[in-house]
Structure 1
Amino acid sequence: MTDITSPSPPLSQQPQQPAAAPALGIGASLAKAGYQLGGMLAPALAGRIAADAFGRSRSKGGRTLFRMPLGAQTFEIAGNDDVRHGYLWKNHGPTVLLVHGWGSDSSSMIGFVKPLLALGFQVASFDAPAHGESAGNKTTMTRFVKAVGAAIKSLDNVQVIVGHSLGSIASVAAIAHADARHAEAVKRLVLIAAPVSLSTVLERWSTNQHQQLPPAVIGKIYERLQVQNGVPVSHWDISVLGAAMEVPVLVVHDEHDPVVPLSEAQRLMRSLKNVRLEQTSGLGHSRILSATPVKELITRFIGPSHLTPTSLEPSND
């Protein structure tokens, strides 16, 4: 059940027409042909290769050059080998944790820091495994979720989480897997451009024009990812992991998002208990993070009137 029957009118900026699909380059064409051949001759091998490609978080190169975000200090993230520290903008209020999406890093969420500090919140972020300054070029949803959970536990006073894209799945899953004290501490949850599940992401990725993987290869991807994650791909599903949550949820989604269709947000409306959907127009999948109306919408939703003060301090390195 939801607390509203329809979303608010879209928050509009300059409308954008859907871009025409780019033509496949030689490399992509060869990869597509290779997957087709692999599906006939060696689907298990092709599935392993494709699963590794799906888990890649960077197009090339390793970790990015470390730069301390302006006004931040580091805080220690204990008990996680992938991510050892994050960034903290200290303040007197409870903590908002910002969780970036796949293939991005904590800098993508930096636009939320200033308005949240102005409300009195403390703000924290980190680079997920194999993202930003964290080592590695590929990761799994399990490792992403564990990193979010470790950050929540280390900060110890997280009352709001703002997740973007696949970071939204990681955020909901981390709350679902957290101990009762840390899970119940979360009073507001914001999901921006969120897919419902990792399965829907994989299906779109494996069947788009750049891939069009044979069914035999797709089946092997699911098998490979289950081995890598320790759980089936279907486990990472907001509509299941978040179904019992009472925490108020704000879903913000652009009606023309080319990466995650609006239908995903509409599915979340049907599956979460206390959810509100706000649509934007013309902001796509990434620009939605920097739009002033979106920042204002989120700060109104998580305003401090419903939150409780805390004196708990995270560990600093």
Structure 2
Amino acid sequence: MSAVDASATGTARTHATAATARASRGRRLVARSRLAYVRGRLRVLGVVAPRAAGAEAFALWCTLPGGSGRRKDDRPSAGEVVELTAPRGGRVVAESWGEGPVVYLVHGWGGWRGQLGAFVAPLVDAGHRVVAFDAPGHGDSDPSVLGPRRGTLVEVMEAFEVVGARFGDAAAVVAHSMGTTAASMVLRAGTLRADRLVLVAPNHDFADILADFARTLRLPVRVQRQLRAALEEFAGRSLSDFDLAPLGADGQLPQTLVVHDRRDKETPFAVGERVATAWPTATLVTTDGLGHQRVLRDAATIELVVRDVTGPRDA
């Protein structure tokens, strides 16, 4: 390539970089404007119509996050797809690969089954049938009862129970982020049994999540109360019932591997430490630099999880 060609290429790259930076700044400005509008609207509603403000906050809480990381597809190939019926109506899409003792993969908030696809081939090679599914509102399943682009933890749990009824008890469950709470709740309820449990980047307690949400939207106290009441009414139980650390503190959940990255920006590393300390059945494994999503594709982490799932059981 000539010097002129090199210069032209460099100029084009500079222009492309500048255009990308401008687009990124534009998106940030739009996001800030939207947030300012929502804050202002909820502040006014909190004064004149607290119930309406609570309902609007509830809808925002149940809105699924975007982001390409949650839509990555790491499945090695297409598996056998089945469609099941969710308790509140609509299709739950499940996919399976291989034969042998079942290992379930449970995605997190805003994710889908392909996000944990890197675990499929190693687990199949180790002699397992791997089953993954999309909760209502996620992936290829039908929308939540709350409508498109919405979801609830309760519906994730219900979908897991439906899939578990179809494929049976498990050798292991591997769950990510908010899916760790869904999986732990289902196992705790006894509707599905598993010999092993793997919690990758477990989520915070719901009081902490609610506090972060309220700070972000600057919700007045009475709107926060309305939101909490709406959440508990939908779930049919207290939000504190979903806190992970107490769920397995009595040793009634299976032998558990907790995997958490020190630089996770979505769920603090301290959460994984707290769960591993509270559960007598749990062991903590720490990674560094993989964050919240890349940990699901890291070869060393996957090897560790497969080794744990396939290792000898405690007497």
TM-score where L is the length of structure 2: 0.80
Task: Tell me by how many angstroms 1:35 deviates.
Answer: 2.0
Determine the structure 2 residue equivalent to 1:300: 307
Structure 2 Cα separation of the partners of residues 76 and 176 of structure 1: 25
Alignment of 1:236-315 (within 5 A): 236-244=242-250, 245-306=252-313
> Secondary structure of 1:187's partner?
strand
**2:170 matched to 1:158?**
yes
Structure 1 residue corresponding to 2:121, chosen from 114, 117, 122? 114
1:214 aligns with 2:220: yes
> How large is the RMSD of aligned CA atoms in angstroms?
2.3
The aligned amino acid for 1:25 is R
Deviates more, 1:80-89 or 1:146-155: 80-89
> How do 1:63-102 and structure 2 match up within 5 A?
70-75=77-82, 77=84, 80=87, 81-91=89-99, 93-102=100-109
User: Offset at 1:95?
Assistant: 0.7
Q: Can you give the 5+ residue segments of structure 1 that lack an aligned partner in the other structure?
A: 1-21, 308-317
Residue 199 of structure 2 is aligned to residue 191 of structure 1? yes
Distance change (3 Å), C-alpha of 1:246 and 1:106? closer
Alignment-derived partner of residue 20 in structure 2: none
Aligned residues of 1:196 and 1:267 also touching (Cα < 8 A) = no
Cα shift at 1:150: 1.7
Query: Which residue is 2:5 aligned to?
Result: none
Kindly indicate which of the two structures has a greater share of residues assigned to helix.
Answer: 2
**One-letter identity of the residue aligned with 2:165:** K
Question: 2:57 aligned with 1:50, yes or no?
Answer: yes
- Asked if the contact 2:94/2:133 (under 8 Å) is kept, the reply is yes
Q: Distance in 2 between matches of 1:83 and 1:197?
A: 29
Q: Return structure 1 stretches of 4+ with deviation > 4 angstroms.
A: none
Deviation at 1:69, TM superposition (A): 7.3
Per-residue CA deviation, residues 172-224 of structure 1 (Å, 9 max, x unaligned), is 00111234xx32xx11100111114333322222223xx23222211111001
**Amino acid across the alignment from 2:260:** H
Code of the aligned partner of 1:223? A
Is the alpha carbon distance of 1:304 and 1:103 closer, same or farther for their aligned partners in structure 2, counting shifts above 3 Å?
same
Higher RCO (C-alpha under 8 Å, 6+ residues apart)? 1
Letter aligned with residue 108 of structure 2: G
1:134 maps to what in 2?
Answer: 141
1:168 maps onto 2:180 in alignment: yes
Would the aligned equivalents of 2:136 and 2:151 in 1 still touch at CA under 8 Å? yes
Indicate the residue corresponding to 2:236 in structure 1: 230
* Distance change (3 Å), C-alpha of 1:164 and 1:124: same
Q: Give the fraction of aligned pairs with identical amino acids, expressed as a percent.
A: 27
Counterpart pick for 2:130 among 113, 123, 136: 123
Would you say the 8 A contact 2:276–2:283 is kept in 1? Answer: yes
| Bigger-Rg structure (1/2) | 2
Task: Flag structure 2 segments of 5+ consecutive residues without an equivalent.
Answer: 1-27
CA contact (8 A) 1:83 1:147 kept: no
Report deviation, 1:87. Answer: 0.2
**Structure 1 residues 253 and 59, CA, compared in 2 at 3 Å: closer, same or farther?**
closer
Provide the C-alpha distance between the structure 1 equivalents of 2:188 and 2:91, rounded to a whole number of angstroms: 20
Q: Which amino acid in structure 1 is aligned with residue 298 of structure 2? A: A
TM-score, scaled to structure 1: 0.79
Q: Which amino acid aligns with 2:207?
A: S
* TM superposition shift of 1:104: 1.1
Deviation, structure 1 residue 52? 1.0
Give the aligned length.
273
Amino acid at match of 1:177: A
Match of 1:201 in 2: 209
Q: In the alignment, which residue of structure 1 is the partner of 2:15?
A: none
Q: CA deviation at 1:291?
A: 1.1
The AA in structure 2 aligned to 1:176 is R
Cα 1:105/1:279, change in 2 over 3 Å: same
Q: Residue 179 of structure 2 aligns to which amino acid in structure 1?
A: G
